Structure 1
Amino acid sequence: MNNKTFLNAPELHIVIVAFSLHFVWELIQTPLYECFRDMHYYTVVLLIIRASLGDVLISLAAFWSASVAVRSRFWILDKGKKGLWVFLGMGMLITVVFEELATGPLNLWEYTNAMPILPILGTGLAPVAQWIILPLLQLWFVRRQLLGGSISGY
């Protein structure tokens, strides 16, 4: 794979944009999780980095699921919505299942009283909102990058 091919790979842009967006979101939502209350600043930053890398993996899994569904790694450039819905749906499914496991049987973290809980899912509103808002922003940025900074024609 040459440099130009590597730089045009949608996965590269997914990773960079996903990490950037999710890092900021994860940092902002720390008051909604009990585990961050009495932690040292550097420990919090390391956990935020780890969470953001997990978000990148979810983004890649959702991206590849959409790529398989539409049979193209460049579905972000298409006007069809199938890739978008698969991407959003897979990201949301992984997030809800992981949040349920993490706050339930795995006991990895718990929400503070400030976290609104969705009644049907039992999941916090922040992680669900994260996987509605950020993937849409992510796709917009990635599409723009793949088109060379232009968003005309869409």
Structure 2
Amino acid sequence: MKKILFLTAITLVLFSCKSTSATDTKLNKGSQVAMKGNWVISSVSYPGQEYIKVNSFEIADSQCFVGSTWKLVSNNNKGNMTLTNSKCAAFSSPITWFVNKSGEFVLKVLDADIKAKRVREGYVLAVENQTETSFQLVDKGNVEGKSISVVYQFQKVN
């Protein structure tokens, strides 16, 4: 009987100490379902900053994402992103994504022949100003000791 109580106590301590992180797979369903559909990035801005060169998602300069199209499927957390800016190299990739309980957008850019569970790196962005027809993803970073934000403005495509 003492062993059972001891094991129960240890189990409770282990599960109650579980930390949460940005990649926690618990979902913010409301926010996520509202993102379902086809979107275009209408602008990329840097509040409080002049234009700065940012290599977004290790793919291309952040301004290359203006005009990019994103298909977000909320029931299976998959989708696709395509860069269409004529001034930049073409790029298209499948993605996986979700909105965690903290309201953060968690994104993985996939290679065609690699499954999502094998991709260990991803991106965590804040979701802000979400409406039925628009939302912003905000990437926060640090450049030369200054805190910066890169704001991707998404507009719904009918």
TM over 0.5: no
Which structure has more relative contact order (CA 8 Å, sep 6+)? It is 1
TM-score normalized with structure 2 length: 0.25
TM-score (norm 1): 0.26
Q: Which structure has the greater CA radius of gyration?
A: 2
Higher helix share: 1
